[in-house]
Amino acid sequence: MTSSASAGASATNRPTIADLVHERALACPSSTAVAGADQELTYGELDGWATAIGGALRAAAPSGREDVVGLLLPRSPRLAAAALGVLYAGRAYLPLDPEHPVDRIARTLRDAGCSAVVTTAELAGRLPAGTWPVTLLDRTPPPAGGSRGAVAGIPPDHAAYVIYTSGSTGEAKGVQVTHGNLLNLCRWHADAFALTHDDRAALFSSPAFDAAVWELWPYLTAGASVHMPDDAIRNDPSRLRDWLLATGVTICFLPTALAELVATLEWPAGAPLRVLLTGADTLHRRPPAGLPFRFVNNYGPTECTVVTTSGEVPAEDVDGRPPSIGWPIGGVTVRILDDDLTPVAPGAAGELCIGGAGVARGYLRRPALTAERYVPDPGGRGARIYRSGDRVALRADGELAFLGRTDAQVKIRGFRVEPDEIAAVLARHSDVLRAAVTTWEPVENDLRLAAYVVPAGGRQPSPAALRAHLEAHLPAHMVPAAFVVLDALPLTASGKVDRAALPPPNRQNEPAAEPGSPLEERVADLVAELLGLPAVGVDQDFFLLGGHSLLGAQLITRLRDTYGVELTLQGLFDHPTIGAIAAEIERMVVDRIESLSDDEVEALLA
């Protein structure tokens, strides 16, 4: 399958994304480029900041073309300026999530061989000791005037950014995406959704999630504005809907689980939103009829520049099939091949192999893995295809049906996860002899991670200790929801872990401790009432007890009404036990009280 859209101009005369944003800055310097809760940058200001950052990087290493520069910054206008500055300097940027464990950040920086890091004074303390110079964004003033834009002559096959994904060997791996790859994504997006400078987009995703690339550059190259919601409302469907309406957002991306919830809410007929994009996980539900915007499902691995296929999802379910993942985007080709890289029969299942302008350069400093996954196109012409490991089939209507994986990789809350990476970290715990990680569904369409451990030397590791060990080394979405201690892991005849024989987790695996405070008791009562249970313990997991995203949103609303705090769905995923929820409420209440002035405290107590 090949998209009918062209890949654009020839490789010899293509501009870079940085060139296009700089042109927008020259043409409309006073127009809003990026806006967050506490900062807004016009195109002129964005260009000025990027020039200052790019100049600092070039001064530190004049010959550093294609060096990787780490960006340890939150989702903010400053992140956009720093990323553009790295591109202006002819380097590749590596976005890092400040919420990730320090150990994870350190290993990523070292693995990527970063030549510099851009961060803030507040976040610099999370940086490990290293040889890289550090640019503090809040201490880098923009130039008094003028801008040089990007360095000239950056080839389209030079790296623009690096994104790290989960790895089966126990270490994450960095994907190098080129300027040519990124330009193809932006041109397809602008054409497919008819972008203009009047559009207002939303940037929802974590900086280290490759969807953030898609949420930023197509709009800045089109002269549109990008708006970033507060963390407090990002995962609250109702408040996010209200923010989208109030901000006048016309097009945005939301991860699958959240998009499914937002689409079920009431929307006014005159809503500014005209396109809701979703992806990152399997879409199980069609949108309800009567929405005032298009609902578009998307698929694509990081290794092929965020989006490979795309298709609008109609509300009508005419044949009982789940929504498709659409068809190839502009400049991209897909083939459905068997294990020998031979095309399968029409309608048969096979591995999705991706070619064309979206195919990234490969894995940073991992030539063997690159050669394994990026292989010569069996169709010839010297091109490469990427073996995605995803099983698909071509439907009669010409769209692709997603059927699952050919390996153990899974999607958790939209993030790719290799269970073996988690098991490798678990096995480093002193109380663990062997470990395995798999998935299960406590309720339909709510995939969760479960860890199974065999104790070392007669020890009895507690779930709390194992969870704390993983939280120190892995992002929150890679920490299992359940831990099961076994005498031995079941094995297949060939000696591999028999995941099908692992017992399903249940809430008896962890102690049902009694509440230790009135706050814990009240939270436990609210959860028990919502889930229809007689009682719950403070160590029990909301999702293991039968909770899911929709019930989570209801719990957040009840806690807001009771305590006046703004929990999020993401926070509930990260801290799902009753005790952890109560602790987070207590922290937020204390923070609010400490932020009050003496007069406000007196008024509150009056």
pLDDT at site 148: 64
Question: Is residue 237 domain-shared with residue 386, that is, in the same domain?
Answer: yes
The range of the structural domain enclosing residue 566 comes to: 518-594
CATH number at residue 449: 3.30.300.30
Question: Is residue 104 domain-shared with residue 206, that is, in the same domain?
Answer: yes
Strand ranges for 432-487 from DSSP E: 432-440, 448-455, 482-485
State which of 485, 509, 533 marks the end of a domain. 509
CATH number at residue 158: 3.40.50.12780
From the list 465, 537, 531, 462, the residue with the least C-alpha distance to 507 is: 537
Q: Kindly report whether the global pTM for this prediction surpasses the value 0.85.
A: no
Question: Is residue 524 domain-shared with residue 503, that is, in the same domain?
Answer: no
145, part of any domain: yes
Question: Is residue 355 domain-shared with residue 461, that is, in the same domain?
Answer: no
Share of the chain above pLDDT 90, in %: 49
10, part of any domain: no
Question: Is residue 367 domain-shared with residue 235, that is, in the same domain?
Answer: yes
Q: Are 160 and 69 in contact (CB under 8 A)?
A: no
185, part of any domain: yes
406, part of any domain: no
State which of 341, 375, 390 marks the end of a domain. 390
Mean pLDDT of 461-470: 85
Domain tally for the chain?
3
Question: Is residue 339 domain-shared with residue 465, that is, in the same domain?
Answer: no
Question: From the centroid of its chain, how far is CA 294?
Answer: 22
State which of 457, 477, 509 marks the end of a domain. 509
311, part of any domain: yes
Question: Is residue 194 domain-shared with residue 284, that is, in the same domain?
Answer: yes
Question: Is residue 250 domain-shared with residue 354, that is, in the same domain?
Answer: yes
Give the helix, strand, coil percentages of the chain, each rounded to 5: 35, 20, 45
Question: Is residue 502 domain-shared with residue 579, that is, in the same domain?
Answer: no
Question: Is residue 299 domain-shared with residue 423, that is, in the same domain?
Answer: no
Higher pLDDT, 235 or 143: 235
Higher pLDDT, 418 or 67: 67
Question: Is residue 465 domain-shared with residue 582, that is, in the same domain?
Answer: no
Question: Is residue 530 domain-shared with residue 478, that is, in the same domain?
Answer: no
228, part of any domain: yes
Range of weakest confidence among 107-121, 232-246, 360-374, 540-554:
540-554
Across 261-288, b (16+ Cβ under 10 Å) vs e yields bbbeeebeeebbbebbbbbbbbbebbbe
pLDDT at site 175: 97
pLDDT at site 606: 47
73, part of any domain: yes
287, part of any domain: yes
Whether residue 331 is predicted with pLDDT greater than 80 in this model: the reply is yes
CATH number at residue 576: 1.10.1200.10
User: Which tens digit of pLDDT belongs to each residue from 118-171?
Assistant: 999 999 988 887 778 888 887 766 655 556 666 677 899 999 999 999 876 667
- The rounded mean pLDDT for the chain is 87
Name, in order, each residue with C-beta under 8 angstroms of 22's C-beta and a sequence gap of 6 or more. 47, 88, 147, 149, 150
Mean pLDDT of 229-245: 89
- Cα 172 to Cα 130, 213, 369, 475: the distances in Å are 19, 19, 12, 11
